[in-house]
């Protein structure tokens, strides 16, 4: 089985090596499918033309012929596609209807699988193009099967398109010695709670701060450590901390840190907290589980799937500070010397490269040969 994974999103700032370093999902999904035994090639839109070979996967970086022209119209794309002669195509994202239609025209008998990356139902004037493109596809993957419902309600998903429930990505993070990690990061707390996410209304840091303020009545040693990139709510977050003595003593705003430092912070922490109202998936949650870190996350479809409906950790309704505080207390009581091994064992069985790769390989085989799979909705 030879699967061609394609990402048509053009990043004009990063070099090919920077893309592989910074876009963990692109690399990890390809490597995962290769680990499961599929032959994987990747074509990535890029301002620089280059081919890299890593972990058994050929990554082909290719520029479009002109701004606004689909990569599928580039002669070099057509020549490479012909040479690769894939059995199936796996397109990252749902928002490339012209490119998907081009792929179908180039190889009408090749099944196409689309992978959702937190896509929303398009506005009405774009739906006809999406509808035509999805009609040319064999399957779509979502982190949680219910995430397909809005697309069905908008009549964008024809009946013949199969739906697979497959996590969006995996992670190469590993557990490590907690004492050594804390010596490196300076993290402390009983428990030490880690937040990794933007300070925006969707991630809802204000609810998490309210919850921490409540939880500290029972957990006076709790310390919250916050890593974030964009921060439209930073002023509101700082104001909330300033007016609450319980928070002033325990909240650490670290800002943006390196990906390597995130791994060390996750090894240092006792709990991982996330209050999202909407997630296509959550790379930070997947990384936390990879390090064996116990999660306390909002009860939304994708996070429910990623935690096995809280088979590890605890969940709370999004926006409910009291319930989040209770979940922090429950998760703290659950902590034990073997907690990290238990969480990592869950990750290995459901979210590792091998586990995710098996699911994509099964999806490829299904759409190529019409074999029944229980992953299909």
Whole-number Å distance between alpha carbons of 377 and 371: 14
The answer to whether 269 touches 252, Cβ cutoff 8 Å, is: no
What is the enclosing helix (H) or strand (E) of 339? helix 339-350
The model's pTM is 0.93
Rounded average pLDDT over 262-283: 96
Please, which residues have CB within 8 angstroms of residue 304's CB and are 6 or more apart in sequence?
A: 144, 310, 315
Break the chain into its structural domains and give their ranges: 2-170+353-369, 178-350
Which pLDDT band holds residue 374 (cuts at 50, 70, 90)?
Answer: very low
Rounded average pLDDT over 335-350: 95
Rounded average pLDDT over 214-235: 97
pLDDT at 373: 45
Q: Structurally, what CATH architecture does the domain formed by 178-350 represent?
A: 3-Layer(aba) Sandwich (3.40)
Q: Structurally, what CATH architecture does the domain formed by 2-170+353-369 represent?
A: 3-Layer(aba) Sandwich (3.40)
pLDDT at 24: 84
Rounded average pLDDT over 257-266: 96
Position 216 pLDDT exceeds 90: yes
Domains 2-170+353-369 and 178-350 share a fold: yes
Which pLDDT band holds residue 376 (cuts at 50, 70, 90)?
Answer: low
Rounded average pLDDT over 38-51: 96
Rg (CA), the chain: 22
Whole-number Å distance between alpha carbons of 350 and 138: 24
Torsion sign (Cα): 363, 148, 231, 274 = negative
Rounded average pLDDT over 193-210: 97
């Amino acid at each position: 089985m030879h699967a061609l994974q394609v990402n048509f999103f053009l990043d004009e700032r990063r070099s090919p090596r920077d893309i592989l370093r910074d876009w963990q999902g692109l690399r990890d999904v390809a490597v995962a499918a290769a680990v499961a035994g599929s032959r994987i090639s990747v074509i990535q839109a890029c301002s620089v033309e280059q081919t890299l070979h890593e972990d058994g996967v050929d990554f082909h970086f290719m520029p479009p012929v002109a701004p606004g022209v689909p990569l599928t119209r580039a002669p070099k794309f057509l020549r490479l596609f012909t040479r690769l002669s894939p059995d199936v195509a796996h397109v990252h994202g749902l928002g490339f209807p012209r490119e998907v239609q081009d792929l179908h025209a180039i190889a009408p008998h090749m099944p196409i699988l689309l992978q959702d990356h937190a896509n929303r139902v398009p506005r009405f004037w774009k739906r006809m193009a999406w509808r035509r493109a999805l009609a040319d596809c064999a399957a779509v993957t979502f982190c949680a099967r219910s995430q397909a419902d809005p697309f069905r309600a908008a009549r964008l998903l024809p009946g013949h398109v199969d739906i697979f429930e497959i996590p969006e990505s995996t992670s190469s993070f590993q557990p490590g010695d907690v004492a050594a990690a804390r010596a490196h990061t300076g993290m402390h707390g009983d428990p030490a709670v880690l937040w990794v996410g933007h300070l925006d209304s969707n991630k809802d840091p204000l609810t998490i701060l309210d919850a921490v303020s409540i939880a500290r009545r029972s957990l006076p040693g709790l310390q919250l450590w916050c890593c974030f990139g964009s921060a439209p709510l930073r002023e509101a977050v700082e104001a909330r901390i300033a007016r609450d003595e319980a928070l002033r003593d325990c909240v650490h705003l670290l800002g943006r840190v390196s990906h390597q430092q995130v791994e060390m912070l996750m090894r240092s922490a006792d709990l991982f907290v996330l209050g999202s109202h909407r997630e296509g998936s959550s790379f930070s949650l997947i990384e936390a589980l990879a390090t064996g870190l116990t999660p306390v996350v909002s009860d939304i479809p994708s996070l429910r799937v990623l935690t096995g409906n809280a088979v590890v950790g605890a969940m709370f309704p999004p926006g409910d500070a009291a319930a989040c505080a209770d979940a922090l207390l429950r998760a703290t009581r659950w902590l034990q010397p073997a907690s990290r091994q238990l969480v990592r064992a869950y990750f290995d069985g459901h979210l590792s490269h091998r586990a995710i790769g098996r699911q994509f390989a099964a999806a490829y085989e299904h759409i190529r040969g019409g074999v029944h799979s229980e992953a299909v909705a």
